[in-house]
Structure 1
Amino acid sequence: MTSTDQQTVLYGAPLSLFSGKARAYLRWRGVPFEERLSTPEVYKTIIIPRIGYPMIPVIETPDGQTIQDTTEIIDHFEKHTDGPSVFPDTPKQRFAAHLLEFYGDEWLLIPAMHYRWRHNRDFAHAEFGKTALPDGDEAAQIEAGRKASKMFEGVVPMLGATPEMTDAIEASYEALLGELDAHFARHSYLFGTRPSIGDYGLIGPLYAHLYRDPASGEIMKRLAPNVVAWVRRMHELEGAEPESGEFLDGDEIPETLLPVLRRMMREQGPCIQDMTDKVGALKQSSPDADIPRALGMQPFTLEDRSGEEKTGQRLVFPYGQWLLQRATDHQAGLSDEDRKGVDGLLGQIGGDFIKPEMIKAPVKRENHKLVWA
């Protein structure tokens, strides 16, 4: 289908974390779209020529635009389609929603990659094979999948998912499931009966890797049935309607969401500060340099099941600062009274360090890549 057919095309794959995020949003927004599998031929003839690197999902709009990043995909349809927004229009909910998109997109990569490649490897090989060799028989697909997934498997330790961190990653994730399950027992989505941009940040890892992959899916079904119900509402619209629902009145941040936000600040917080420091240092030392995809490694600490702290190492991604800036830019633009409310929320969750001033070298996305703002 071409752009003249007046339908959006989504190039993605069932196993792809961010394809799940984009697909869930397009379904809720009611955007007519056709999904096409991102085969090697699609990468060669469409994705790399248009984007410059091999990455999914990619959408082609009816007017011929090509958009790669899921946040930019959502921004595009929020701007160009009518209907209720996934961005709350009250200060605390909007701020928290941006934080939770950042948390899902960046931090929950750790459990997502851990569970896929420690507990679901054979399934992942088969799924990669179905994308790499869609017309092959099962044996050929599995062999193709092993080859196609080598790059992804190779980066898993650099994302922090090492054998030494296994117990701590699983303890943290299971605790997060419990916190989310308690929240979704009382609320359909993060901030009421309408999904927010924060929900779309969480659905990527929680659907494609942690629900759809069989071993981790069994864990979610056993420990967190309310999270399972939320995943199905988000991705399949099971029991939900497109463009439906409302955010909670009075800019309310549900009490049940505070443990999730506190976990984010406790676990991801030190890495957030280190990330902005490293981006700032790069700009100061090499102001004309291109921004690399990663800026070395950083330590991160999680508690294992015994309560002992375990420290691993993970890559620092400047892209994360771009997501964080969506929260801090919102924070900076608030009135004094509204800023007090956001600052009060940060005090409740241990996030006092989150402030516009922490961004020492702002970045932006331009032509499918990160550049200095």
Structure 2
Amino acid sequence: MTYKLFGALGSPYSQKLRALLRYRRIPHLWIDGTATREALGQVRAPVIPVLQYPDGHFDNDSTPVIYDLEARHAERRVVPDDPAQAFIAHLLEDFADEWLTKAMFGYRWLQEVDQIQMSRWLAFDNLKGGGLEVSQKFAAMFRDRQVSRMALVGCTAENFPLIEASTRAVLAALEEHVVNRHCLFGTRPSLAEFGIFGQLSQLGTDPTAQAMMRADYPYTYRWLAHIDDMSGLEGEWEPGFAAVVAELVRIAGEVYVPFLHANEQAAEAGAETFRMEAMGLPYEQGVFKYQLKCLRELRSRLAALDGAARAQVDPLIGPAWLGLLA
């Protein structure tokens, strides 16, 4: 019953899923480098991480994989038992996957110092040998490709002030919380922590972002090392919502709600791009179909909650989220 996780150290979603498998004590092998190429040929969208199941089949969308593992393995689940908490954990994981990832892209590929070091490190990780000349040639090609994609995912110099402001707001909320406890819904982690960890794990590695975290959010920076392997942790879910959860939901409502709304409106109008403003800052990018799927999923999960759960969720998420999801 051993899984194989094909990923990379420089992939936030690989780090997310590896940390989750470790916490859940699900037997697995970590495989990176050129071996991932064969696995990419087994999935519809050729992106890592790819998880090979014990029965031999492959999957690679981290969030559905997490829920599939919940159904297959009963011990140490990461979806809270309480339906209201489960919805909020999903919302925060989605926010991390779809919005905080822009910080990872921006910090890694906007400035030359980060472009050079990280392209070389990622080439080093992928090739695992072959000589410096080959590695740096691969790095240069990869760097050019990634930089050319920045506008597509909204990580431009014009957009980065909002990306950075929202990321710092998240880091500030975590910094206040993690000095008291490491988890959001009690003394055990949910899928939200792993989603957030995945993105921040890269900020904790890349030169500019790492320097920022070490200087301004040192305990959140150190927290990453703990989330990376929580296999020895024993904990419980606790009722209610911690202040940090409310703050993270508020930040997501201020930034991610207008993003999802503008993306949906543009898609319905047949537009190729959209503009929005959040936190008093402008933002523009191309329409993304995957975020439409994320929005549908959020709406479906909110609609499925019963009255008791909605009585907890609605006051927490507030008018911005309710206006988008209800």
Alignment TM-score > 0.5, same fold: yes
- Pairs within 5 Å for 1:174-323: 174-207=168-201, 209-237=202-230, 241-242=232-233, 244-249=234-239, 252-278=240-266, 296-303=272-279, 309-323=280-294
**Higher deviation after alignment, 253-262 or 59-68:** 253-262
Structure 1 residues 72 and 168 mapped into 2: Cα distance closer, same or farther (>3 Å)? closer
Structure 1 residue 22, shift from structure 2 partner = 1.0
Structure 1 residue 274, shift from structure 2 partner = 2.7
Match of 2:5 among 7, 10, 19: 10
Match of 1:31 among 26, 30, 46: 26
Structure 1 residue 191, shift from structure 2 partner = 1.5
SS in 1 for 2:232: coil
Structure 1 residues 245 and 321 mapped into 2: Cα distance closer, same or farther (>3 Å)? farther
Q: Give a deviation string over 1:158-197, Cα, whole Å, max 9, x none.
A: 2222222344433332232112211222331122211111
TM-score (norm 2): 0.90
Q: Distance in 2 between matches of 1:245 and 1:341?
A: 23
SS in 2 for 1:352: helix
Would you say 1:351 and 2:311 are equivalent positions?
no
Q: Distance in 1 between matches of 2:126 and 2:311?
A: 51
SS in 2 for 1:152: helix
Structure 1 residues 148 and 131 mapped into 2: Cα distance closer, same or farther (>3 Å)? farther
Aligned length: 324
Q: Distance in 2 between matches of 1:326 and 1:125?
A: 34
**Paired amino acid for 2:312:** G
**Paired amino acid for 1:181:** E
**Paired amino acid for 1:245:** G
SS in 2 for 1:108: helix
Would you say 1:142 and 2:136 are equivalent positions?
yes
Structure 1 residue 87, shift from structure 2 partner = 0.8
Which residue number in structure 2 is paired with residue 51 of structure 1?
43
Q: % of aligned pairs identical? A: 27
Structure 1 residue 42, shift from structure 2 partner = 4.0
Structure 1 residue 132, shift from structure 2 partner = 4.2
Q: Give a deviation string over 1:253-275, Cα, whole Å, max 9, x none.
A: 11233222111111121121233
- Confirm or deny: 8 A CA contact 1:128 1:144 kept in the other structure: no
Structure 1 residue 107, shift from structure 2 partner = 0.5
Q: Give a deviation string over 1:123-165, Cα, whole Å, max 9, x none.
A: 2111231244322223321221121343322111222222223
Q: Distance in 2 between matches of 1:313 and 1:165?
A: 7
Q: Distance in 1 between matches of 2:94 and 2:313?
A: 17
- Confirm or deny: 8 A CA contact 1:125 1:145 kept in the other structure: yes
TM-score (norm 1): 0.80
SS in 2 for 1:136: coil
| Runs of 5+ unmatched residues, structure 1 | 1-5, 283-294, 304-308, 357-373
- Confirm or deny: 8 A CA contact 1:91 1:342 kept in the other structure: no
- Confirm or deny: 8 A CA contact 1:104 1:202 kept in the other structure: yes
Q: Distance in 2 between matches of 1:107 and 1:205?
A: 10
**Paired amino acid for 1:63:** D
Which residue number in structure 2 is paired with residue 20 of structure 1?
15
- Confirm or deny: 8 A CA contact 1:128 1:145 kept in the other structure: yes
Q: Give a deviation string over 1:13-37, Cα, whole Å, max 9, x none.
A: 1111111111111111112211222
Which residue number in structure 2 is paired with residue 75 of structure 1?
67
RMSD of Structure 2 on Structure 1 (CA): 2.3
- Confirm or deny: 8 A CA contact 2:24 2:77 kept in the other structure: no
**Higher deviation after alignment, 168-177 or 121-130:** 168-177
Q: Distance in 1 between matches of 2:162 and 2:182?
A: 29
SS in 1 for 2:77: coil
- Confirm or deny: 8 A CA contact 2:103 2:163 kept in the other structure: yes
**Paired amino acid for 1:152:** Q
| Runs of 5+ unmatched residues, structure 2 | none
SS in 1 for 2:159: helix
Match of 2:102 among 84, 96, 110: 110
